[in-house]
Structure formats: structure tokens, C-alpha cells
Amino acid sequence: MGLTFFGLTPNYRASIFKQIHEIVFHGNGGYDWGTIYNMPIWLRNFTFNQINNSYTEKNKNQKAEQSWVSGEAKQEAAKNKKIQVPTYVTKASKK
């Protein structure tokens, strides 16, 4: 038997609440649950997409920076041999 009234399906309700949670959680304190819940759908979708794009760009920049540090910086150091790893003495002399 199908739905006999108009309402939101459980899957749609879950996606709405997940979107509201993501905006509130990743909005860095700029949004509260009631404001997002009562926000027009088009504005909520726009806000969600802007926050998502911001975090996606941030992750992309961090990955690029990490790959440069771990990859290219090590290769440059090996080529130029300007960076010398110090040798450490494990025990101090007793003099």
C-alpha cells in the first residue's frame, strides 16, 4: 500500500537532515539548525554547494602542497645536496 497523504519520503527526509547537519557543522559557527531548516530550499542548496566547493578546493590545495613537499622537495634536495642531514651522537662522552 502506498502513501495515502502528501509527505516526505524517509530517504528525502534523511537527505535534508544530512544537508542541514553539514551546513551547520562545516559552517564554522555561522549557522544554527533552526535558521537552516527554515531557509528557502534554493538558498539552502546554494549555501551547501558553496561550503562543499570551499572544502573541496581546500583539500585539493592541501594535497598539492603535500605532494610537493614529499615529492619535489626531496628530489630537489637530492639533486642540489644543499641540505645535509645532521648526524647525532647517541651517547655523550664522559669527559
Mean pLDDT of 10-37: 91
Q: Where are the domains of the chain?
A: 10-80
Neighbours of 35 (CB within 10 A): 14
**Model confidence at 37: pLDDT above 90:** yes
Predicted confidence at residue 54, as pLDDT, reads 92
Predicted confidence at residue 34, as pLDDT, reads 93
Predicted confidence at residue 83, as pLDDT, reads 58
Could you tell me which residue, 58 or 8, shows the higher pLDDT? 58
Burial level of 27, CB count in 10 A (0-12/13-18/19+)?
A: middle
- Tell me the C-alpha distance between 10 and 90, whole Å: 63
User: Where would I find the H helices in 1-95?
Assistant: 10-26, 33-37, 41-67, 73-80
